[in-house]
Structures are given as structure tokens and as C-alpha cells.
Chain A
Amino acid sequence: MRHPLVTRVSTACLVLFMALANRAYAQSDGQQPDTPDDEHDDPARQDIPVVVEPSADEGPADPHAEKSQRGARASGDQRAGGNRQAGGDQPPALPDPAVQPVDPRALVAAVEGAREPPIDMPVMFNAPTGHLLPAGIVLSAAGVETGGGFNSDIRVGLGDVAEFGVGTNALVNVRQNLDAQPEALSYYPTALFKMGIAENLLFRFQPALALGFRKSFEKEHDDRKTRIAQLYLVASKSVGRRFRLHVGGVLWDASIKRSDGTELLFHDRGAAKQLRGFAGIEIEPLDRSQILLEVHYMPEFTLGDENRNDRISLVPTFSWGVRYELAKWALLESGVRIPDIKDVNLIEAQIFGQLRFVTRRFRKFLKSYN
């Protein structure tokens, strides 16, 4: 036989559950729960904009779309007297007396932060894309290759029109002489600045465009100091929801400073030798999974027996692999990189794995403050 206390508790829980369910249903259906009519003028409630959740099909983050959406929401709120459900026959929304007043800016920031759409990646595996990180978003990466190379990168979006980053890579090769096999120069430190405009910003069908500049610090090895720099212009275009094309041109430069004070400069050979194209495609056969292919150029240093025989050249590199979105804040990448397409040597091919982390805290802070 059931104890009377258990019966009372069960009944109370059932009543409470029904009340909550009724309230949730009324809100989802555009109705409001029964509340006193004399509270609909609460100014705190009117100041809270209603956030329309973007659907998954709305695509990547677009600050302007986001802004116009916010504007539309704000104007909609004004028309509806601070309640999106109040446009029909229903009375205006009324606050629950039990709910404490909430800072509207904090609420908007919290809701928008939770609804942040996925970002367009500013880089394939190694080649840049025309996309930029949204303002305040920090993207960091760390990866290794079977050859022992370590790549790392951290960059931050600046105002939806630029990004700045620093990192190290093992993509630049050096040969001890013309006949030697290339070896990766580990921990080559670089800094990056990239600016551009988002896709469809100026006109319809306009690709995302970015002008980027990456340069290195001096790297010492073999009694020499080397530097590299690249200036590139890249365009990215989405074709449908699951295909993206990236095409660009890059102007490379590099230098070798020898111990005797002389310096070999790649730009002395002329702009035609410096200019190269690069391209890549992204295919998304499954949600959150992408296949990437890229072709781009990297500098290679060849050291002579005597200083005079040093040489700088550009070698085409091909990479393919997959990117998987583990979570909103983490991506896993893995694939194969052939360091020199002209000299296809599968023994020299590198299998790489890389983790990328997306941090939105700074963006949320800026949004809450602005």
C-alpha cells in the first residue's frame, strides 16, 4: 500500500509538471500563460529584444546579415510593442512575476553566443582562403606530421574585415646540396595579416576576397639566416551548400643571409619568378565533415658547398584530407601532403594530423559591451 506522503508528493510533482508543460506549450504556440493584465507595461521586459534563431541552412556567419537580422528584430519588436507574439489576436506578453529582471544586453549576448553559426575557415590545410574570421573569434591550431614536423597557428578576427596571427610551421624545406633530399625546417616562425571582404557583401555572386601578407622572423640554420614572405590575393566562392572553390595568386619572396655578410634575395630574379597561383576545393559530403584538396607553392632553400651556390626556388605542394567538426569549438584535420609534386616520391609524403580550436569568448565580451 502506497504511503500518503508519497501520494501527496507525486500529486504535487504532477501538478507542477503540468503547469510547466502548459507554459512551455503556450510559449511555443504563440500563446501566453495566464498572467495579470496590468503587468504588460513592465519596461524591463519591453527592452528585451526577441532573438530569432537562425536555421541550420542559413549558412556561415555573416556579420551584416546578423546585423540586419538584429535590426529587423529590433524594428519587429517595436511594432509588436516589445513582444513578437503580440502581433496577432493574443494580448501582449507579460512577465512572470517570479522572474527577476534580467540585463537585456547580457541576455542578448548569451542567446546569440549560444546560437553562433559555424565559421568559414580562413585556411584550408595550409593554403589561405578568401574567408576571414569574424570579429573577436580566436582560431588556434596545432598539428604534427610523420616527418616530425610541428605546425602551430593562432589568429584572431579583427572587425569582420581582417585577421592577425602568428605561428610556426615545418613547410619550408632545405636541401644541403642539389642532390640531397629536402628536409623540413622546423619551427619556422611567421606572422600574418589578412584583410578582405565577405562573400556577397558588395554585390550578388561576389566571392569572398582577401589580401594577405605573411612574413617570417629570421630563422638560423647551417650558418645562415633565412626569411620568407608572401603577399597573396585569394577569392573563395560557395557553389551550393556543400562545395567551395578557392583560387588565388601569391607573390613569394625569400632571402638567405650568409655568415660572411652577403645576402641572396629571391626578388632579384624578378617578379615573374616570384608569382605563382594556388587553388583548393572543399566538399562537404556529410554534415560537419569536409574533404579538402589544395595545391600551393612553398619556398625551398638549397645550400651550396660554397656560399655562392645557394639557391632559392618555389616548389608546388599538394595536400588532401578531411576535416571533421568534433564540436562547435574543435575541429580535427588529417590528410596527406606531398611536399613536391614535380618530384613525386611517396616515401617523402607526409601524413599529418591537426586540431583546431575556436574560441568565441572575446567576441561575446565585445558583443555584450557594445
Chain B
Amino acid sequence: MPTAEVIGAYQISLSGDASLLAESNTLSMSSVVAVGFGDIAQLEYRSSSAVTTLDPNPIRIPTLGVQLKVPYRLPRFIPELAVALRFGLERTETSMDGMIQHKQNATDLYLVGRLPLGRLVLHGGVRASQAAIDSEGEAQLEDVERVLFLPTLGVEFQITDQTLIAAEFARAPLFEPGDATRPNDIDGGFLGRAGIRWRLLPWLVMDASIGYRIEVERIDASAGTSMADALVDWDMRLGGELFVPWGAILCRQVGFFCE
């Protein structure tokens, strides 16, 4: 989930993580590039991969987003607020028999708040997600589009100056492409993650976490059983974030943005 914070001005954040997906025994990667503007906004491009029921190989999910932070200093116990808009670019999945093509996309609008309470920081918000499945190749399969309001909640606890523990609970869109016997459906799935963030160096941050993968719930949705206790399908994720102070670099190298 996004938080009510943005990348600083004249900075670029490059982040990525890798998740061990036991289903395919492969490593799934995701990456984000974010550029900060004037300490109140950031523009980001996100590219992530996921395992699906229809494709044995990880699929790419590109997203373009912008995030704005309310630029006022608020009184104590009033949370900082931010709005994030993420445009999901269309991706296509093909059914196992290759006959049906499912075009899926989701555009998300987040309203999130951040409330610092000493070493504890609470995050909360809601995600309005407009999701759609457009299927071709099966005449009886109707397209489906839904708007979901999905809650998100996060908590951080600062352990040392360099490290914090964080947990995140959210609901996210869950695509369930249909076939000749089953209609397309979109629902909300549970997503949980807990881990740590460690600032190794002033410009390098490392994340490590464990979580319950929504893809597993989706895979198992056809079987109609709960998978929250299926530990063998939980994932373990390692990530890093690199901050590039491009303004300072340009100032030093060519004399721009020095004033």
C-alpha cells in the first residue's frame, strides 16, 4: 500500500524486490521507479510479476502512477494525508486451452493517512479500484467490470534509528477469469505482509518480509477452500531501495540546480 509520504525533490528512487514463488520454483521480480517533485508529489512507474492460474510463467503488470501529499503541517494527532492514482495498463491472459483471451486491467485511487505516535506509526486508507475483465473467444462469457472499495491498514514500529518493523493488511482485486462453464468474476482478496525495513546506508534501504500471496487464494478459489493456513504457499520477499540525488549530482557535475 502507498503511504502518505513522497520522494524528496531532486531525487529518484529505484526499488525492486524478489519473491520466491514455490508454485513455479522461480523467482518473481518487481520494480518501481519514482521521481519526487517539490516534496509534495511523486511520479512512479511500477512493473511487477505474478503467477497466475492461466500462465505457468510470471506475467508483467505495468502501472503508471502519481501521488500527491497534502502540503500542510497538521496539528498533532491529525494524520497526514495523501492521494495516489495508479493507472493499470492492460494485460492479457490466455486460458489453458488457448481458446479464450482475458484482457484485464485495474485502475486504483488510494486515499491514505499516516499518523505518527512516537515510535509507532499507523497507516490506513481505502483503495477504490475499478477492475475489468474483457474476454474474447467464448461467446457465452460476459465481460465484467466492478468498482471495489478495499480497506488498507499498516503499522510501523521503529526499533532503532536504522530499522523498523512493519505489517500491512489489505484487500486487493482478485481476478477470476471464467470459461464456458463459469462466468468471469472480480472480487476482493486478502493480502497480508509483515517484515522489516533496514537503512543500511543513507542512500540504501533494504526490505525483507513474509506474506500471504493473493495469487494462491486465486489459484485455490476454484477448489473453494481457504488457503490462509497453507504455509507452503506463503512467500518470502527481499527488496532494496536506492535513492539517487540527481539534483545534487547535476549540481556537482554541470552546475545545474545549485541555487
List residues of A whose CB falls within 8 A of some B CB: 63-64, 67, 135, 158-162, 164, 191, 193, 195, 197, 201, 211, 213, 215, 217-218, 227-231, 251-255, 265, 267-268, 271, 274, 366, 369-370
Contact = CB atoms under 8 A, between A and B. Distances in A.
A160 B165 CA distance: 11
Contact of B229 (A67, A191, A274): A274
Contact of B208 (A67, A158, A253, A271): A158
B178 to A, nearest CB: 22
Contact of B231 (A63, A159, A230, A268): A230
Given A159-B160, A366-B201, A265 B22 contact: no
Contacts of B162: 135, 159-160, 370
A54 B236 CA distance: 37
B194 A231 contact: no
Among A160, A215, A251, max chain B CB count under 10 A is at A215
Contacts of B25: 217-218
Contact of B232 (A159, A164, A228): A228
A244 B108 CA distance: 51
A320 to B, nearest CB: 28
B195 A215 contact: no
A73 to B, nearest CB: 16
B164 to A, nearest CB: 8
Given A159-B196, A227-B22, A267 B230 contact: yes
A248 to B, nearest CB: 15
Contacts of B202: 370
19 contacts: A63-B160, A67-B160, A160-B160, A161-B198, A162-B208, A164-B238, A191-B20, A191-B236, A193-B208, A193-B209, A195-B208, A197-B159, A231-B231, A265-B230, A265-B232, A267-B229, A366-B200, A366-B201, A370-B201
Contact of A227 (B161, B163, B197, B232): B232
A255 B230 CA distance: 10
Nearest to A268: B225
Contacts of A197: 159, 165
A64 B163 CA distance: 12
Nearest to B196: A162
A161 B230 CA distance: 26
Where chain A touches its partner, the secondary structure class is strand
A64 B206 contact: no
A185 to B, nearest CB: 16
Q: Which 3 residue pairs are nearest across A and B when measured between Cβ atoms?
A: A159-B198, A159-B163, A253-B231
Contacts of A252: 231
Contacts of A193: 195, 208-210, 236
Nearest to A198: B159
A274 B231 CA distance: 10
A215 B234 contact: yes
Interface in B191-229: 194-202, 206, 208-210, 225, 229
Nearest to B225: A268
Choose among B162, B164, B197 the residue with the greatest number of A CB atoms under 10 Å from its CB.
B162
Nearest to B164: A161
Contacts of A265: 230, 232
Contact of A213 (B159, B163, B164, B236): B236
Interface in B25-50: 25
Nearest to B159: A161
A357 B170 CA distance: 40
Given A159-B162, A215-B234, A215-B236, A271 B229 contact: yes
